[in-house]
Each structure stands twice: as C-alpha cells, then as structure tokens.
Amino acid sequence: RETILQVQDLKKHFPVKDGMLFSKPSRFVKAVDGVSFDVFKGETLGIVGESGCGKSTMARLITQLIRPTAGSVLFKGKDLVTLSEQEMKKERKSIQMIFQNPYASLDPRKTVEQLIMEPLLIHGVGTKLEQKKRVKELLEVVGLSEYHAQRYPHEFSGGQRQRINIARALTLNPDLVICDESVSALDVSIQAQVINLLKDLQSQFQLTYMFISHDLNVVRYISDRIAVMYLGRVVELGTYEEIYRSPQHPYTRALLSAVPKESPFEEKQQIILSGDVPSPMNPPSGCHFHKRCPYATEACKTDSPVLRDYQNGHMVACHLAGEI
C-alpha cells in the first residue's frame, strides 16, 4: 500500500513558565511525546483517546499550524517540519482540516459563496467565473444547492454548517483531510449523516482521512485502522477488527469496556479505570498508564514500553502485550 503520511517520533513539549520572568522554563507539558505512525493512501485512520491526550495538538503539528519540538512529518516523502511558512502554504492545498465547532469556524459576515471561495482566492486559483462554478459544484457535492450560496452561516443548522466546512475543505482538491472532532458537536442522527457524506466523498475523490475523536462509537463507523492515544503517546494501533475484537493494550480494553453494548446479548465486563487521569504536565515515569493499569509490574514504573509489532502490523506499546 502507498504511504501518504509518515509521522516519526513527533514531539511537542510546551514550556511552563514558573517563577522569574527571565528564568528558563524547568517544566514542560509533554502534549505529544514521541508519536510514530503511517497513514496509507485512501484509508481512514481513526485517532481516539480521552480529551487532553494530545490528539488535537498532533493534528496541528501535522499541518504545521504549530511547529514540533522534535520529529518529522513526511507528506508524500517531503518533511513538512523543514519547510518555511511560504513553502508550507503550498502544501496546505493538499492537507486540509475540518474542526469541531461548526458555529465558530465560519465567519458570520460572509456568505456561503464567499466562505467556500476563500481558499481559491488565497491561493489565486481560477478566474472569477471558474471560482463561482466551483462553489456551485461543491455545494451540490456536499448535499446543498446553489440557492444556498448567497445566504449567511446563521441561516443554517449545525449539520448544514458542517457541510459548508466540508465544502471549504475540498475546494482545492486535497489529498489528506484531518477531521478533528468534526461531528462531536452534532446530534447523533446528524452525526451519522455527516459521516456517511464523508465516506461518499472519500470514494468519490480518493481522499485520505485522519479522523480524530474521543468517541469510540463515532470512530468505529468510519475508520479502517485506529490509533489509540494516551497522554501524548500512541499505545495501540491496528485495523478496525484488531482494535474492537482483540484489543491488547489494557487502556484500549478499558476504553472499549466503557462503550455501551451493541446488543443486550453481548456480555461485556466493564473495566473501571482506577486513579485520576494524570496530567501531561507530569506524566508518570515508565509506562504513562502504570498508575491506572491493573496489570502494572515493577518494570512498568521505570521502563517505557515502545510501540512495536505484536502481530502482522497490529502495534502495541505494553510490556505484557500478548500475555494478558
């Protein structure tokens, strides 16, 4: 399979200012702490984890909206981390993001046409006539119509606004679209509609998705593979079947056991996570999960498990992978 994106040992450590104004920061929030994975062309890679685990920071590092402390982001073989802002602007045509809040992400003073046209203007693509034609095309593609072009965002429902955001993201024919909690603010029935739309668009335009969500129920409907994050690290990565049918990491199992059962016949024992979610400011030594893990050994307190191949590409970061 063709790899479109390779993230290698990506880190973002935010300095915490404490004490004197000019003193060097002595503490860091390790929002993203050594993350590596590949994204294959045409797939949807789901990224799940509790809020504060570094999912959104990672998305912003990939698009270079924030610059990493270390690591590389190879997009079609080119390391985005080394690019200047000017060079990065060109790459942003091919990598688009769709954010969570369909209310805040659209400028209320602009018409739908202006909003969808904006990326074309920024990148100087097409004549006025071609731009208008493109907007009309995109409105139809996302299930709206040209009659909506002259309206303003407040005239639309949350689901429709997210359709407008999707149209905007597709304006420049991207290869990779990163959805960060893109349906989380919507009602469940509307979530399903938007996810189905995203799936249709994926096959229609050969899109690759990274789909970030705290909600395992949402991620399961769209993802081919899933990466589970915990405190700035990927702890497990596998296909949909591997993660949902045979999760190996104790954290993945705990997350899944908290998801409501699909049918009353399915016996699932809920694993209650003990302990508070530790802060990324002071992540525990060794395995970040050891304070909440029912299987933790002495070694887990000091040795950091690396994400390694457990079986045919199913990756697990746990000293006891396969033994639990």
Binding site for ligand SF4 (CB under 6 A): 249-250, 287, 289-290, 293, 295-296, 300, 305, 318-320
The interface partner of residue 31, options being ligand SF4, Mg ion, none and the CB cut-off 5 to 8 Å by kind, is none
End-to-end CA distance of the chain: 31
Q: Are 179 and 154 in contact (CB under 8 A)?
A: no
Q: 126-155 as b/e, with b when 16 or more CB fall inside 10 Å?
A: eeeeebbebbeebbebbbbeeebbeeebee
CA 197 to chain centre: 18
Minimum separation from the CB atom of position 313 to ligand SF4 (A): 20
Backbone phi, then psi, for 193, in 5-degree steps?
A: -60, -45
Minimum separation from the CB atom of position 324 to ligand SF4 (A): 7
For 283, counting Cβ atoms within 10 Å of its Cβ (0-12 exposed, 13-18 middle, 19+ buried), the class is: buried
Position with the least CB separation from Mg ion: 56
Q: Which listed range, 51-59, 158-166, 203-211, 222-230, lies at the site for Mg ion (CB under 5 A)?
A: 51-59
Return the amino acid letter for 103.
Y
Minimum separation from the CB atom of position 293 to ligand SF4 (A): 3
Query: What's the CA gap between 125 and 142, in Å, rounded?
Result: 21
The interface partner of residue 71, options being ligand SF4, Mg ion, none and the CB cut-off 5 to 8 Å by kind, is none
Minimum separation from the CB atom of position 243 to ligand SF4 (A): 15
Query: What's the CA gap between 235 and 263, in Å, rounded?
Result: 28
The interface partner of residue 135, options being Mg ion, ligand SF4, none and the CB cut-off 5 to 8 Å by kind, is none
Helix-, strand-, coil-residue percentages of the chain, each rounded to 5? 35, 25, 45
Q: How wide is the angle at C-alpha 211 spanned by C-alphas 207 and 214, nearest 5°? A: 170
The interface partner of residue 318, options being ligand SF4, Mg ion, none and the CB cut-off 5 to 8 Å by kind, is ligand SF4
DSSP-derived secondary structure for 231-244: TTEEEEEEEHHHHH
Q: Are 145 and 135 in contact (CB under 8 A)?
A: no
Task: Kindly tell me which of 56 and 160 has the beta carbon lying closer to Mg ion.
Answer: 56
Report which of 233, 225, 210, 319 is spatially closest to residue 280, judged by C-alpha positions.
Answer: 233
Task: Kindly tell me which of 143 and 284 has the beta carbon lying closer to ligand SF4.
Answer: 284
Minimum separation from the CB atom of position 12 to ligand SF4 (A): 22
Contact residue for Mg ion among 44, 56, 64, 182 (CB under 5 A):
56
Residue found under tokens 């933790």: 296
Task: Kindly tell me which of 95 and 178 has the beta carbon lying closer to Mg ion.
Answer: 178
Q: Are 251 and 289 in contact (CB under 8 A)?
A: yes
Backbone phi, then psi, for 175, in 5-degree steps?
A: -95, -40
Count, residues near Mg ion per rule CB under 5 A: 1
Minimum separation from the CB atom of position 279 to Mg ion (A): 16
Task: Kindly tell me which of 52 and 126 has the beta carbon lying closer to Mg ion.
Answer: 52
Task: Kindly tell me which of 186 and 315 has the beta carbon lying closer to ligand SF4.
Answer: 315
Task: Kindly tell me which of 49 and 305 has the beta carbon lying closer to ligand SF4.
Answer: 305
Binding to Mg ion by residue 165, rule CB under 5 A?
no
Task: Kindly tell me which of 12 and 290 has the beta carbon lying closer to ligand SF4.
Answer: 290
Task: Kindly tell me which of 64 and 100 has the beta carbon lying closer to Mg ion.
Answer: 100
The interface partner of residue 56, options being Mg ion, ligand SF4, none and the CB cut-off 5 to 8 Å by kind, is Mg ion
Binding site for Mg ion (CB under 5 A): 56
